[in-house]
Amino acid sequence: MPGLPDLLFPDIDREPEYYEARYPARGLPDGAMVTRLGPSPTGFIHLGNLYMAFANERLARQSGGVFFLRIEDTDDRREVEGAAQAVIGSLGHYGIGFDEGPLPGGETGAYGPYRQSLRGEIYRCFARKLLAEGKAYPCFLTEGEIGGIRARQEAAKLTPGIYGEWAVCRDLPPEEAARRVRGGEPWALRFRADGGAGGHVSVQDGIRGRLSMPKNAMDVVLLKANGMPTYHFAHVVDDRLMRATHVIRGEEWLSSLPIHIALFEALGWTPPTYCHTAVLMKLDGGAKRKLSKRKDPELSLDYYMSEGYHPAAMREYMLTIMNSNFEEWRLANPLSPIGEFGFSIEKMGNSGMLFDLDKLRDVSRERLLTIPARELAEFMADWAERAAPDAARLMRSDMGSLERMLDIGRGGEKPRKDLAYAAQILGHIGYFYDELFRIEDEWPESVPREDIAPLLLGYLEGYRHGDGRDDWFGRLRALAEENGYAAKPKDFRKSPRLYRGHVGDVSAVIRIALTGRRNSPDLWDIQQILGEARTRARIAAAAERAR
């Protein structure tokens, strides 16, 4: 008659030592961190994944360690086809790459498989060991029975869960358990918690410092009735065998930390350094709340892709919210590559991290200034190919002009800082393209309606495309004077009765004619990019409209 371990795990013929030897310590230099990202392949990649990935990646990179991807796909109901490649693609867009994992070119790394669904044999081997040592047991409670227990616990205001007296299968005689297994009853494997009541575990959290938490008393499930491991069990086995040194994960896992510590202990292993980050919060009507998948489109990474936030801006902002000393560093090192900043776990906050779109935009406006126009033009065209294909065709047909459009007003002492993200930038430059040009604003109220056509026609007549900036402006002043407008705003302010307006009013008319808007960058620059024919055509069309 086989014992329970053989009965429950007839297929397992390897010993734990086999895996320990197959996945040996990595032999990296002291201080090298091995970190990982363990997304569930739900197809929804959010800001939390991005910032967690970024923190993990930074720590591995700057310590000369390893950053690997592990797909946590044991919950098959949630599996979405291609989700692993989607994670890799999205993170790649933000410049985050993995050293190991189920990468597009094939599985990379000596510590795989890197999909939990392919590691069943490994989990079962260690589950068997725990069972054999009396640290786990088969539990035959059905979902209905567990529901009943929960209801009774709730009625009695007790902590819900399977523990102590509620763990009815904990002390079943092995023969009875064996009989029920042989009889075909479904079973889950539960951990035999030794916590009991009282007692604390003390853990050093990389972000939060020393924590003292109540010891785990729950007989948590290690293997579900379908044979799949739970997160608790799978990640403990994986992080051991993949030799992770640091686990940076969300605060939502903090409460189950005592379970994980107990599992490491039961398996005779030293846990990695757990680092629990703060949750992403936003300000909503003055109050802080968690970002929500349902209410906040900005939680999804797709949002940043479709709005076209530059990856460099996103990385910059991530660091701004993740490391309290980053902004100071940036002020002192405005042009240094981000990789030179010493990212540290200790500087990560441990309470609600405020995510603020306005702040992201500010950071982005600053960052875009450091990106050469040529690169920005490529970025815009790439973005448009995904988000605005018609605009992409226009951009691609003349990349040189796109570059110039994006570069207007960016140089000098006081560069413009109004370009934040691609969708908004397209709004700013759209008028350069005849296909996107629209009259958005009215003629300026300060100019009498009957002056508009004559001003435009006069402008058209005097227009010399080859004029330099100063000559052009000289001509504009002359035009203003000829039409009864002051050549200088200050003359007009001194004696408003003498004039119909001033040169600024005249240029406002030209501006609407050329761009359709009241606000635009420098007109001379705009005309140089539009070229003579289109400049003239727009002025003529506007004069026609104003008649």
Tell me which residues are annotated as active site: 293
# residues contacting ligand GLU (CB under 6 A):
7
Helix axes 231-241, 120-132, angle to 10 degrees: 100
Closest approach, Cβ 49 to ligand GLU, in A, equals 8
Between strands 136-139 and 101-103, the pairing is unpaired
Q: Residue 68 or residue 499: which is nearer to ligand GLU going by CB?
A: 68
Choice from 33, 35, 38, 257 touching ligand GLU (CB under 6 A) = 38
Handedness of CA 527, 530, 531, 532 (dihedral sign): negative
Question: 501 pairs with which residues across the strands?
Answer: 485
Of residues 377-416, those binding ligand GLU (CB under 6 A): none
Of 38-46, 191-199, 319-327, 486-494, the segment contacting ligand GLU by CB under 6 A is: 38-46
SS3 call for 83: helix
Q: Closest approach of Cβ 247 to ligand GLU, in Å?
A: 6
Residue tagged 């790394």 (tokens): 109
Interface with ligand GLU (CB under 6 A), residue from 119, 124, 190, 235: 235
- 């007839």: which residue's tokens? 10
Three-state DSSP state, 67: strand
Give the nearer residue to ligand GLU in terms of CB position, either 251 or 467. 251
The tokens for 158 are 């007790």
Site string for ligand GLU, 247-276 (x = CB under 6 A): x-x---------------------------
Single out the residue of 156, 242, 229 nearest to residue 190, CA to CA: 229
Residue of the chain from 39, 65, 272, 521 that contacts ligand GLU (CB under 6 A): 39
- Of 35-43, 96-104, 272-280, 455-463, the segment contacting ligand GLU by CB under 6 A is 35-43
Distances in Å between the Cα of 414 and the Cα atoms of 164, 264, 306, 370, 410 are 70, 58, 30, 14, 8
Which lies closer to ligand GLU via its Cβ, residue 56 or residue 483? 56
276 or 330: whose CB is closer to ligand GLU?
Answer: 276
Q: Residue 72 interacts with ligand GLU (CB under 6 A)?
A: yes
Distance CA(413)–CA(329), nearest Å, equals: 22
Of 66, 153, 162, which is closest to residue 110 (Cα–Cα)?
66
Report the C-alpha gap between 243 and 505 in whole angstroms.
Answer: 70
Choices 34-42, 273-281, 469-477, 481-489; region in contact with ligand GLU by CB under 6 A: 34-42
Looking at this protein, which amino acid is placed at residue 253? W
Closer Cβ to ligand GLU, 238 or 505, answer by number = 238
When asked if residue 40 is in the footprint of ligand GLU (CB under 6 A), the reply is yes
Question: In this structure, how many other beta carbons lie within 10 angstroms of the beta carbon of residue 438?
Answer: 10
Contact region with ligand GLU (CB under 6 A), list: 32-40, 105-113, 117-125, 417-425: 32-40
The residue type found at 40 is: S
d(CA 318, CA 95) in angstroms, rounded, equals 13
Q: Which is nearer to ligand GLU, 38 or 430 (CB)?
A: 38
Query: What's the closest the beta carbon of residue 229 comes to ligand GLU, in angstroms?
Result: 12
Token pair listed for 268: 């005779």
Minimal distance, residue 126 CB to ligand GLU, in Å: 17
**Least spacing, CB of residue 148 vs ligand GLU, in Å:** 29
Q: How far is the CB of 272 from ligand GLU (least distance, A)?
A: 10
Which residues between 155 and 174 bind ligand GLU (CB under 6 A)? none
Neighbouring-strand partners of residue 204: 210
Q: How far apart are CA 416 and CA 369, in angstroms?
A: 9
Q: Are 69 and 45 in contact (CB under 8 A)?
A: no
Smallest distance, ligand GLU to C-beta of residue 35, A = 10
Pick 87 or 460: Cβ nearer ligand GLU: 87
Query: Between residues 78 and 393, which has the closer beta carbon with respect to ligand GLU?
Result: 78
206 binds ligand GLU, rule: CB under 6 A = no
Options 36-44, 172-180, 208-216, 520-528: segment touching ligand GLU (CB under 6 A): 36-44
Contact between 500 and ligand GLU per CB under 6 A: no
- Nearest approach in angstroms of CB 50 to ligand GLU is 13
- Our CB check for ligand GLU shows the closer of 249 and 500 to be 249
Residues 6+ positions from 290 with CB-CB distance below 8 Å: 279, 280, 281
Smallest distance from the beta carbon of 36 to ligand GLU, in angstroms?
7
Give the pair of three-digit tokens for residue 514: 């050329």
Q: Look up residue 15 and give its two tokens.
A: 């010993």
Percentage helix, strand, coil for the chain under 3-state DSSP, each rounded to 5: 50, 10, 35
The footprint of ligand GLU (CB under 6 A) covers 38-40, 72, 235, 247, 249
